[in-house]
Amino acid sequence: MATISENVGATLTRMVQEGQPFDSMNKLNDGLRLLAKWRSVVIANTYIAHHGPVIYQGPFGGMTYLAETSEGALAARLLGTYESELHPHLARFATEGLDCVIDVGCAEGYYAVGLARMMPGITVHAYDIDPAARTACKDLAEKNGVSDRVIIGEKFEPADFQAFADRKCLVMVDTEGAEVDILDIEQGPALAGMSIIVETHNVFRRGALPTLHERFTATHDIERVDAQLKSIELPDWFRSLPPLDHLLATWEWRMSPTPWLVMRPKSEA
């Protein structure tokens, strides 16, 4: 079986041989992203060789993880830097007596399982339309001993929020543009009393961020959170790697900015 390095090398060679030269900014960018993803995977595999698939630090530190993700960068998850801009908000929510989390677009369960470990008193309701993601989330919950508190479902509709109307819930949404449809407060008025963290994807749904901001201004206090460069403590063995590897280890594979909105009901302000 070919290694990832051999596969990436063969892909680049084939692109050139088939007359796809890197003669434009977009093609050069595609080639750069391919090589950067390759190196990111190599770094993740090296991390696993040293530590196993266990998250190194952060609020989910010590969580047993998977050897691959359903999408996105594994290295940043393993190092505990993935979406670290949200860590202070998660820490605050953890002290506020939540009894449930609704995670829409749960992927392999980074947040669903991580939050179940972080807050032993909650039940996490995790949803994803991808069967492979649901299977991976189930596996991750079992690996971490929280499968009794991680309930996995398929498609989540706005009206489904009403089933949680009497609960103190944190809603997390990462759905590649569908957040505008899911966070519909007219169909799910219970959202008015729920805390929400949503990743916005203007790249897939133009105007997603301002649409959601305007929609929830009357009911929530809203903070925009933008991605930041990471400065972290790294494992000792990592320090001998080139500086570019330090950057790629915390790179999250985003194609464009995807700022979050952290929204708290005004009644809780």
Q: Please tell me the pTM assigned to this model.
A: 0.92
Alpha-carbon distance 153 to 108, whole Å?
13
Residue 135 and residue 214 in one domain: yes
Residue 15 and residue 121 in one domain: no
Residue 124 and residue 39 in one domain: no
Residue 164 and residue 254 in one domain: yes
Residue 56 forms part of a structural domain: no
∠166-171-177 over CA atoms, to 5°?
Answer: 135
Instruction: Provide the Cα torsion 230, 233, 239, 241; round to 10°.
Output: -30
**Which amino acid is it at 27?**
K
Residue 46 and residue 83 in one domain: no
Side-chain half-sphere of 187: how many Cα atoms within 13 Å? 10
Residue 68 forms part of a structural domain: no
Residue 98 forms part of a structural domain: yes
Q: Among 132, 189, 135, 188, which Cα is nearest to 157's?
A: 188
- In whole angstroms, how far apart are CA 118 and each of 73, 240, 242? 22, 32, 33
Per residue of the chain (269 residues), what is the pLDDT tens digit?
Answer: 667 776 777 777 776 666 666 667 877 888 888 899 999 999 999 999 999 999 999 999 999 999 988 888 999 999 999 999 999 999 999 999 999 999 999 999 999 999 999 999 999 999 999 999 999 999 999 999 999 999 999 999 999 999 999 899 999 999 999 999 999 999 999 999 999 999 999 989 999 999 999 999 999 999 999 999 887 778 889 888 999 999 999 999 998 999 999 999 997 65
Structural domain that includes position 46: 4-51
What 3-state DSSP class applies to 205? coil
Do residues 200 and 209 make contact, with C-beta atoms less than 8 angstroms apart?
yes
